[in-house]
Amino acid sequence: MTAIAGLIAQRENIGDLLAEGWRTIIQRFGRVAEKYAMHVKGLDVLYDPRRTYFGSMEFEQLVCPRGPTSNSGGSPTYVPGKSIEDFERHCDRVGAPRDAIARILEGGEVNIGRLVRHFEDWYSILSALGICNRAQVNRFYNIRVCAEFYSSATGIEKTPQELKLAGERAWNMQKILNVREGHTREQDKPPRQWLQPLTERGRRYVARDYYRKRVLTEEDFEKALRDYYEERGWNPETGTPTEEKLRQLGLQEVKGKAGR
């Protein structure tokens, strides 16, 4: 690996091709390379649910507009086996409305797709205020305190609900820019390898849900995506913001300027 890293850095031999990333490699070698390319939106994934479980950070790699980053999907699923009460408390802390919390926790289990939408909005708020999103730091904040911080610092009164809307607007803006560049729902799909067992040192690993009760199928990943899009008020068929959602956020004009 060290030798390969050197070749990539110097763009020597095979490193010249590898430096271009997964999409160029796939174009060069054809569909056979896709079978081995563990990527989302052309970038390497960080977390493999076959080795952990399918929590919010694993899912965030699929839907994050910047590619497979995970910070913006941070939630109580950092830790396995969290109680419903823990999820309810944290959802309230980050500003998820009561009806949304009911959807997220329907059936006594956390819905990862619906959960992620609200923690992405929370991440946008923390980023705008210059607050670290690491669990050791952000756990001391809630959306009500953040609204007070903003109002005190700027002299512009903001309610928690208005701050939550600003976080949602920021996330939709990122999505609009991706759509402008030609991104579609296809770019949010998981790597095919996640559906295949991983064998390592004689052990066999498969992707499981957050509770590690079920082996995940392609339909499970698809449902998580649809739930996420619906929770965002996006079209579940295209994975893009609806006209109604953009009007609610005051972004309809931006979409017009960004569109092709």
Q: Same structural domain for residues 83 and 125?
A: yes
Domain assignment present for 42 = no
Domain assignment present for 120 = yes
Q: Same structural domain for residues 90 and 166?
A: yes
Q: Same structural domain for residues 216 and 107?
A: yes
Rounded to two decimals, the pTM is 0.91
Cα 202 versus chain centre, distance = 32
Q: Same structural domain for residues 117 and 32?
A: no
Q: Same structural domain for residues 121 and 220?
A: yes
Nearest alpha-carbon partner for 124 in 59, 92, 169: 169
Per-residue pLDDT of the chain (260 residues; tens, 9 = 90+): 889 999 999 999 999 998 998 889 888 888 788 878 889 998 899 999 999 999 999 999 999 999 998 888 889 998 998 999 999 999 999 999 999 999 999 999 999 999 999 999 999 999 999 999 988 899 999 999 999 999 999 999 999 999 999 999 999 999 999 999 999 999 999 999 999 999 989 999 999 999 999 999 999 999 999 999 999 999 999 999 999 999 999 998 876 654 44
Q: Which domain holds residue 123?
A: 47-258
Domain assignment present for 129 = yes
Q: Same structural domain for residues 211 and 233?
A: yes
Q: Same structural domain for residues 237 and 124?
A: yes
Nearest alpha-carbon partner for 110 in 157, 54, 64: 54
- DSSP, collapsed to helix, strand or coil, labels residue 240 as strand
Determine the pLDDT at residue 255: 67
Domain assignment present for 244 = yes
- Decide if 110 contacts 84 (C-beta within 8 A): yes
Q: Same structural domain for residues 15 and 65?
A: no
Determine the pLDDT at residue 252: 85
- Domain of 184, CATH number, reads 1.10.599.10
Count: domains in the chain: 2
Q: Same structural domain for residues 70 and 151?
A: yes
Determine the pLDDT at residue 32: 81
Q: Same structural domain for residues 66 and 137?
A: yes
β-bridge partners, 235: 240
Domain assignment present for 26 = yes
**Rounded distance, CA 208 to CA 197, Å?**
11
Q: Same structural domain for residues 109 and 3?
A: no
Q: Same structural domain for residues 163 and 242?
A: yes
